[in-house]
Chain A
């Protein structure tokens, strides 16, 4: 196929401006490696994001990037994939981007099963706008918009996405770089919608017990628990521990992935185009009244 592409071939000359120590640096590095492992040339990759600190990530790669609107990466990515199913389409963003303002799009991309890989950098806070409450912030969290402590139950991204029926659901942390790299690669290779919740700490506004040091102490690889990723019910059960346990690895991988939406669309196009090709110039003929 293609000549070997090293991780650095996916690294753009644009320098990240994340705060030093931000978890997103590790995610970016893992992504370079995963992309190198998958081996698609950068010009065949469309990397779509929303708005947030995490959403800056496409600009740091050599892929075609699109840093879109807050919460709207998934719709745009679906348009890209349906317009050209040959592209590798990756979507990334924050917890606020994906599960607050953009939350309405999540069930739909999943039920359609568009072949995208969705990486959420979940830091339980709004980084870009300076530390407000996010939909995954733990109850009781004090932030500038919850000065007396949040009264809200956080959303559980893993459980939500599993319940919507996603075929590939995993969780990673930059505290385990090899593990995260392997998971991103596996998610990209999964034929269908895949989701990786990346616990990517915000060094500037995040809680002390959410930093990588704490992750290193707390994380539990699902493999070490003997979890079978083909077992959807077990996955749902384990996912309930979001917020208390830090499980890493694949929660669920559909052992027999159904056809993707983009593949079905293409199949239908091919069927409908059999026979005499249609001329766009004859489009009005059907309205002629003899």
Chain B
């Protein structure tokens, strides 16, 4: 099942592809912001901070891509909108947990980066336009780079499974 609906990669233009890339980052940014809010509301501030940081990283990627799009195509209207994207680079909502540890959070991000990598890998063979191919390869490599960063952070993280849940109060009835 493709996380992008209604887009034909054989026909997509470079402009649309850039817009799509911008939106992929935007979706990821929004999701990390939501996760940050969720965890802030659930007494897990360090992970909330971590997700906020992730949101800022995604926002940076988004602005970089947006700059490129502007330089190449100005403010010509976009043919793709957010409704076409379903969790391309954004982790699924099910990934968040109250009182999750940093390690778990890193694993969530890693899984999301892997997912994005897969998306570009699967799309690439269908892309015909050479310029576009380059862009998609670049975006895919970007994901590899991110994965490496996350893996490095994971390695610095303690091996011990996270036990914050064990200390938390029981849920409250409303």
Contacts and interface: CB of A to CB of B under 8 A. Distances in A.
B5 A21 contact: no
B163 interface: no
Contacts of A25: 34, 93, 96
A4 B37 CA distance: 27
Given A29-B93, A37-B83, A177-B87, A21 B1 contact: no
Those 3 A-B pairs whose CB atoms lie nearest each other, nearest first: A20-B96, A25-B93, A130-B173
A181 to B, nearest CB: 8
B171 interface: yes
A268 B81 CA distance: 42
A192 interface: no
A6 interface: yes
B42 interface: yes
Contacts of A20: 35, 38-39, 42, 96-98, 100
Interface string B74-108: 00000001110011000011111110100000000
Interface residues of A, number: 36
Given A7-B82, A36-B82, A205-B171, 9 more contacts: A6-B81, A6-B82, A7-B83, A19-B42, A20-B35, A25-B93, A25-B96, A130-B173, A212-B94
Nearest to A131: B171
Interface of B: 1, 3, 5, 30, 34-35, 37-39, 41-42, 81-83, 86-87, 92-98, 100, 171-174
B86 A177 contact: yes
Interface of A: 4, 6-8, 15-23, 25-26, 29, 33, 36-37, 53, 128-131, 174, 176-178, 181, 201, 203-205, 211-213
B83 A176 contact: no
Given A174-B94, A212-B92, A17 B41 contact: yes
Nearest to B31: A29
B87 A130 contact: no
Nearest to A201: B94
23 contacts: A6-B81, A15-B37, A16-B38, A19-B42, A19-B171, A20-B100, A21-B93, A25-B34, A29-B93, A33-B82, A36-B82, A129-B173, A174-B94, A176-B1, A177-B3, A177-B87, A178-B1, A178-B5, A203-B94, A203-B97, A204-B98, A211-B94, A213-B94
